[in-house]
Structure 1
């Protein structure tokens, strides 16, 4: 007996549902789990975790902070690059800050927000102070904020300068420059409207190639980058070596050991895995309490 067309179609659909559910819901997942258990792949399938004293210390694929309870860098450890993922290196909130190069003006006052420029300037100054080097950068004030003025002209955007305000330095701060265009520079009063002024970044006298590398002051796109540049690692050598009572040469050898090469020999740049480097330091040169 031939079944009605509508019933045949429904049975065919049911058979397809059952077969695909079995293949994609059971067979395929089990196959992937089995492949993930193959020696050489199981570590990656489990998250590329690194153990220390029998406990997971982290993943070689995800960065982490090496700071104290107050967020201050621990001098005996190499520091990671900044992170904008959640509260930092949060894989459940991976993201960038979404701030662009034109984000140069801070929001002052209670609940204010730093511009990308000021974030970079503040980080560079802090790293310079920590490492004992010049943390200055172009378009940054000596105090570590964006060197940006609101320049008011008599005729709007043209004509003689009538007023100048340092947008990122709240009163009663002393502006980073005393005068601009022959006019005394004022500090900024939180809440005041300076929208009619021409936003004018001031380059200053910092070197074109700052001592503090770019990756030390900017977050990666994911906020999870476990690597730093070789230049940033070398910048930290003397501090870490002094804190551990070891020679800078021995610290440099460990940097060389945990430096990853460019992909395929030409894509990207060399990087240093910070977690692996710090664990190797703890094993070879523990801090004497």
Structure 2
């Protein structure tokens, strides 16, 4: 007996649903669970959870007031939520041209300058950077010309400082401090970053002052780790060599020997230090 066309179509759809449910709903997930159990992959597939967090997600090592705990290595900054929030993973989306502070937020340049200065003080090194003022904001001027973009300079404003400007004059014109709420770009000022005399290669490395793309990076560069070695050794009463040996132990090389850069897992390193 031949079934009606409409009934045949419904039975074919039901068979397809059952087959795809078995393949995609059961076999496919179970296959990847099995792959995740392969030695070398099981730690990552399980999230690498440990008593103090996950070795795959960065975290802060600060006190209740947000100050760095000096006996621990510090992670790189995070722009994910309030910091290292896996439910809000993101970058700041601020680029190199974000150099002017506003009433709502600090520019990327000022954030970098501020972090570098703070790390310099924490580690006892020079925290200066190009295009940063000595007090840790972006060294940026709004330069006004008589004819818009040409002609003699008529006015200069240090746009990120409401106090004493980082430089008294620019090309013979006295530099004014900024006034809160003023938009000097809208007024016709030409934004001019000033490099200053900071070293071309700052002591504080880039990953110490910038967040990763995800905001969850658990690693820091070997350079940033080495910068922190003297402080951690001093706070824990250890030799610098002993701390350096641990840094080397928890440094991962490039993936496949050539992809990416070496990194030091901060959580694993700090846990090893606590174990003595």
Give TM-score, length-normalised by structure 1.
Answer: 0.91
1:145 matches 2:140:
no
Q: Which residue of 2 aligns with 1:185?
A: 175
Question: Partner of 1:169: helix, strand, or coil?
Answer: coil
Q: Which residue of 2 aligns with 1:202?
A: 194
Q: Which residue of 1 aligns with 2:7?
A: 7
The offset of 1:28, in angstroms, is 2.9
1:91 matches 2:83:
no
Q: 1:198 to 1:125 in 2, by over 3 A?
A: same
The offset of 1:143, in angstroms, is 0.4
Question: Partner of 1:215: helix, strand, or coil?
Answer: helix
State the alpha-carbon separation in 2 of the partners of residues 135 and 175 from structure 1: 19
Question: Partner of 2:10: helix, strand, or coil?
Answer: helix
The offset of 1:249, in angstroms, is 1.1
Q: Which residue of 2 aligns with 1:79?
A: 74
Q: Which residue of 2 aligns with 1:66?
A: 61
Q: 1:34 to 1:157 in 2, by over 3 A?
A: same
Q: 2:217 aligns with which of 225, 249, 260?
A: 225
State the alpha-carbon separation in 1 of the partners of residues 238 and 37 from structure 2: 40
The offset of 1:267, in angstroms, is 1.7
Q: Which residue of 2 aligns with 1:254?
A: 246
1:24 matches 2:14:
no
Unaligned runs of 5+ in 1: 51-55, 285-289
State which drifts further: 148-157 or 14-23.
Answer: 14-23
- CA offset digits 1:131-152 (Å, max 9, x no partner): 0100000000000000000001
Question: Partner of 2:155: helix, strand, or coil?
Answer: strand
State the alpha-carbon separation in 2 of the partners of residues 209 and 32 from structure 1: 45
Q: 1:238 aligns with which of 225, 230, 234?
A: 230
State the alpha-carbon separation in 2 of the partners of residues 144 and 225 from structure 1: 25
Question: Partner of 1:186: helix, strand, or coil?
Answer: strand
Question: Partner of 2:148: helix, strand, or coil?
Answer: coil
Q: 1:30 to 1:204 in 2, by over 3 A?
A: same
Runs of 4+ off more than 6 Å: none
State the alpha-carbon separation in 2 of the partners of residues 145 and 208 from structure 1: 18
Give TM-score, length-normalised by structure 2.
Answer: 0.95
CA RMSD of aligned residues (A): 1.3
- CA offset digits 1:58-115 (Å, max 9, x no partner): 111111100001110000000000011111111111110000110000003xxx2011
1:47 matches 2:83:
no
State the alpha-carbon separation in 2 of the partners of residues 25 and 179 from structure 1: 70
How many residue pairs match? The answer is 274
Unaligned runs of 5+ in 2: none
Question: Partner of 1:21: helix, strand, or coil?
Answer: helix
1:165 matches 2:157:
yes
Q: Which residue of 2 aligns with 1:274?
A: 266
